[in-house]
Amino acid sequence: MVYFAYNLAFHDHVQSKLQAEIDEAYFKCGGSGIDFGEVNGLEYLDLCINESLRIYSPVSRIMRCASNDVIVNGLKIPKRVMVIAPTGALCVDPDLWDDPMSFKPERMSDVKDVNSVIYQPFGDGPRKCVGLKFALLEMKIAFGTILRKYTINPAEGTPKPPLELKNFRTTSPVEDIRLCFTPRT
C-alpha cells in the first residue's frame, strides 16, 4: 500500500484519472459508498495496482528446496538444493520490460497475457499466495475510499523515483517515505 501511495504521489495524471474512475463509481452508487460490485469494476485501479506491484514487488524472491533429485529442462537439481527465483528482479528486467522503472499502468492492460514466470508478485503454482484475492480487494477498498476524499502528494524530503529498496526476501524502502494527504475540494 505504501508503494502504491508513493507511485500515485509522483504521478499526478495517473492519480487524477483514478479519482475520476472512483468518483464515477460513487456516483453510480448514489454517492454513499462503493459496494463490492463497484470495487471489482474499477479497471484502471486494477492496472495501477498491478503496475505498482511490478515496479516495487513486496516479495523479491521465491525459494524452493528440492525434496528429491529432479531434472528440470535437462538441468539436474539434487535433493536438498535450494532454488531461488528472483521474481522481483524479473519484474524490472530491461530485457523483458520496456522502460521498466517508469510507472505506466496501461502496460498492464493485458496482464493476463503476461508470462506468469516474469510477472508473479504473488508467486505461482500450488504454493502461490493464499491471500492474493484478499490483498487485492483490501487495496482496492482502501484506495477507493482514500482517493475519493484525498489527493496524495510527496512531502518535503521524500526520495524521488525510482525508490531504493532494502531487500530481505520482502522489500522495504531504504529512506522513509513521507506523503501528504490533502482533502479534495
How many chain residues bind ligand HEM (CB under 6 A)? 13
**Under rule CB under 6 A, residue 59 binds ligand HEM:** yes
Query: Is the Cβ–Cβ distance between 8 and 56 less than 8 Å?
Result: no
User: Binding to ligand HEM by residue 134, rule CB under 6 A?
Assistant: yes
Name which position in 22, 58, 108, 119 contacts ligand HEM (CB under 6 A).
58
The grid cell for 35 is 459496494
61 counts as binding ligand HEM under rule CB under 6 A: no
Query: With contact defined as beta carbons under 8 Å apart, do 115 and 90 qualify?
Result: no
130 interacts with ligand HEM by CB under 6 A:
yes
Cβ atoms of residues 24 and 87 within 8 Å: no
Of positions 100, 123, 159, 173, contacts ligand HEM by CB under 6 A? 123
Grid cell listed for 142: 482502501
Q: Residue numbers of the site for ligand HEM (CB under 6 A)?
A: 58-59, 62, 121-123, 127-131, 134-135
